[in-house]
Chains A and B, each alone.
Chain A
Amino acid sequence: MNRVRRGLHVLPLTMAALFLASSAAAQTLHMPPHEKYVLKNGLTVLLLEKHGVPMINLLAIVKTGSTADPAGEDGLASITAGLLRKGTKARTAQQFAADLDYIGGDFEAEAGADFSSVSAEFLTKDLTRGLELFSDALLHPTFPQAEVEKLLAQSIDGVRGAKDDPQQVLGLYYYGYLYGTHPYGRPAAGDEVSLQRIKRDAIVKFYEANYAPGNTLLAVAGEFNGAEMRKKLDDVFGGWAARTVAPAQIAAAPPVKGKRLLLVDKDDATQTYFAFGNVGIARTDPDRVAIRVVNTIFGGRFTSELNEALRVESGYTYGASSFFDSRKAPGPFGILSFTKNETTTPAIDLALQVLQKLHKDGVTDEQLKSAKSYIKGQFPPNIETSRQLAQIIASNEFYGLGDDDINQLEARVDAVTPEMAKQVIQKHFPAENLVFVLIGKTSAIGKAVEKYAEKRDAKAISEPGFWPPPSAVIK
């Protein structure tokens, strides 16, 4: 709290881990060698040995995420993941915490839209204990009723607390308003109403239905001996009983037609936080590299068109950016910024002008060249640690991308032509069809922002839920 940064792309989205996970460097850039095999019970294992730092990272991707939450019970996948460490066959929640902390280990479990993930990190010398803790949580959770109640109560207050900071929740309102009742519109961590509906039985059922070896990818990266690790993994996970899981299906949401605007009232706000855009692309979209190059120019770095216009030239804001949150099915595209109440419409007008200019003028050869260097030059720190490498191999396996997504990135970036840039702008950057979400002081800005859309909705930030309102989901 006592550091003030010059800043950069300040992302109001809690789910924005993939702010275009940047790209490649020198021609030699490639993924370190790793192996893949499948246990008899169907568990896919990915092993990557990386020496130099005596640590090991484990990451299990369970191929079911929050999109599988039943209507009205948003947060079920997330609560299930959160409870894995809160009581197992071998340990109470307190014992698990004590054993984990004793080795200085990290354990995280969460549900995103496309999948749930369970990860651990510990020193190589603690491999046996670390692996045992990780598998205890993943394979043997007991979901004690008292822990269920505790976590649900904490999570409900967590949502309330997040609403005290508009930056933390702008993305949740934006995704909800953009996707409506499509699964990508729901809050992965639930809301104040949906979390109250979740019962222990549903959690146990969710776990049993989805946490199965055939529905799981396990990535292991770090400093270890491969042969020894394979044996240990066989011992620990070989006995995990196979179960059939129906693969999660997510239908593609069509882009929104026309314009609409949601104004979320926060009466004490001195600054308006805004997002606008439309449905973007899937993680495997063949245009993804060209989009990354164009988005770098448009809103993906400090000297992007958006940041130049809204921050550097006008001083309207501390930061303006754009993102594609690419997912299994087409995920959102959005433009994000914030500005003081008085400059709300000038800032949004300017952002719209920058978007129009992109469509009208495209990008220059000089910008293309610069963006390519930037992407390639900034990529290597993304594959520096075993934690990052475990995430990449697991995620690429999940999306069916393979190592080429990294190994060919540089060549693919270099291959982007002005013509391709033009095409992706037309195809993937919205122009007229736009969904706006603003969090701000309605009494100060409400009238002025009416001009952005004929169709408008409003709610107060203190009202439970995001969008659609919880009452519209469950009758």
Chain B
Amino acid sequence: MATKTLKNGMKVLVQTDRSIPNIALYIFYRVGSRNEGPGTTGISHFFEHMMFNGAKKYGPGELDKVMEANGGANNAYTTRDVTVYQDWFPRSALPLIYDIEADRIRDLSFDPAKIKSEREVVASERRLRTDNDNGGLLDEQLWATSYIAHPYQWPVVGWMSDIEHWTIGQLKHHFEMGYAPNNATMVVTGDVSPEEIFALCEKYIEPIPSHAPPPPVSTVEPEQLGERRVIVRKPAQLPLVLVAYHIPHTNSPDYYALNVLRTVLFQGESSRMYQRLVDKDQIALDVSSSVEPAFDPNIVEVVAQPKQGVDPQKCERAMYEEFENAKNAMISDTELEKAKNIRLAEFYREMRTINGRANTIGTYEVFFGDYRKLFDAAKNYSAVTKEDVQRVAKAFFGANNRTVATLIPENAEEKAKP
């Protein structure tokens, strides 16, 4: 791995891998929906779309056309914390990709006609992922209830009324705030040498001036002092239950122990939760947990998919008992060993493609402050003890620290009743 910090403050990380004649280039901007406010929720994500809709040299629609005509493809994603742009291309497209990236970082244009149609595209995306998807809909309610002060409370895609109303002025402000080169990290993996990349960066990226990064997010979510519950009633065949527990931010010493605990409880058909809810009690089809990388104090999200007709509270009770078991007694040596083996295999799965590597290296650099933590991960997991796992179970998985979101199916006949 070679690294270089450009004069304008952008850090560039390069890992050469010539197993296929392709390159993955990821740019992580440290701006996401946590940098928004009421009235502009979702603007980071909308802005992500606008980054493909024309700049000075490559006008509306041209970026995609030129990139694809040269064998490249792209995508991007926005989270509560970051906006990430991804280019995948054969090495022959190399100078072109830098020309495109520099053009849009430096000279993005805001075409009112494009803003209008892209607003509709994003509204369609919201209908797809949230309004017409029970999991997405309930997830939105969960976060909105779990956080009462911190900006993690609103959805990345934004509330529909904000999608309909943000202004060109607000978009320009967002660009000026978030898109400083010193607020970004570039990761390149694949069929290319660090020297080639650094030379391209000097030519295309380094001349772009740095400026102030987004103002810090100073709001701290206050401690949760009791269980919160939210219910969604809508037509559905199956109920759904999500539970969130507050945990520390990603770059915290508890990160590894929490992952070991989640692995023991949720990963694989031998996990405690699967064994209990799916296999033994047969009240759920599936049970899982997830944590997104986060700069600020975070939540772990648990999903149980009850079977048809099963009271979601039955699933809740079973899960709470399993959390209690993990607090009352230490996990076994076999479980600890298993969790570490699973983490190791996952590491290889993430790192076996140039795309996976670019994303993982960037995630560690941005959220842990240093990509080298990635290579310490195995060591850090090895250091986790049964006592650590029990400690984090006790510290975070209590009733007062949880938020429960439940989807209750409501059929058409019931709805018609007065």
Contacts and interface: CB of A to CB of B under 8 A. Distances in A.
B174 to A, nearest CB: 15
A360 B82 CA distance: 45
A258 interface: no
Contact of A315 (B117, B127, B337): B117
A380 B21 contact: yes
Interface stretch (A151-159, A396-404, A421-429, A447-455): A151-159
Nearest to A374: B68
Contact of B338 (A28, A102, A158, A268): A102
Given A153-B307, A161-B305, A315-B116, A97 B93 contact: no
A101 B352 contact: no
A384 B342 CA distance: 22
B237 A160 contact: yes
Nearest to A52: B19
B238 to A, nearest CB: 5
A395 interface: no
Nearest to A2: B292
A167 interface: yes
B71 interface: yes
B-side interface size class:
35 or more
Given A166-B132, A302-B64, A26 B90 contact: yes
B39 to A, nearest CB: 19
B354 interface: yes
Nearest to A95: B270
A315 B157 CA distance: 16
A318 B64 contact: no
A384 B20 CA distance: 7
Contacts of B237: 160-161, 163-164, 462
Interface in B201-237: 234-237
B345 A4 contact: no
A79 to B, nearest CB: 15
A312 B61 contact: yes
A198 B226 CA distance: 47
Nearest to A96: B269
A465 to B, nearest CB: 13
B151 interface: no
A312 B270 contact: no
A5 B292 contact: no
A378 B118 CA distance: 26
A377 B132 contact: no
A269 B236 CA distance: 11
Contacts of A163: 237
B76 A104 contact: no
Most chain B CB atoms below 10 A, which of A6, A98, A318: A6
B48 interface: yes
A165 B134 contact: yes
B121 A378 contact: no
B124 A317 contact: yes
Nearest to B156: A4
Interface string A436-474: 000000000000000000000000001000000000000
27 contacts: A2-B80, A4-B156, A6-B48, A6-B75, A7-B125, A28-B21, A55-B352, A94-B279, A101-B271, A157-B307, A160-B237, A160-B238, A160-B308, A161-B238, A167-B128, A267-B235, A269-B132, A271-B124, A315-B117, A315-B118, A315-B120, A315-B124, A317-B121, A338-B128, A370-B65, A376-B90, A383-B20
Given A158-B285, A338-B127, A377-B22, 16 more contacts: A6-B75, A100-B270, A101-B270, A123-B344, A153-B282, A160-B238, A165-B133, A165-B134, A271-B124, A271-B127, A312-B117, A314-B117, A315-B124, A317-B124, A377-B73, A385-B352
Shortest beta-carbon contacts, A-B, top 10? A377-B71, A104-B345, A315-B120, A315-B117, A97-B269, A101-B268, A370-B69, A380-B20, A97-B270, A160-B237
Interface of A: 1-8, 10, 25-26, 28-29, 52-55, 93-94, 97-98, 100-105, 122-123, 150, 153-154, 157-158, 160-161, 163-167, 267-271, 301-303, 308, 311-318, 338-340, 366, 369-370, 373-374, 376-378, 380-381, 383-385, 462
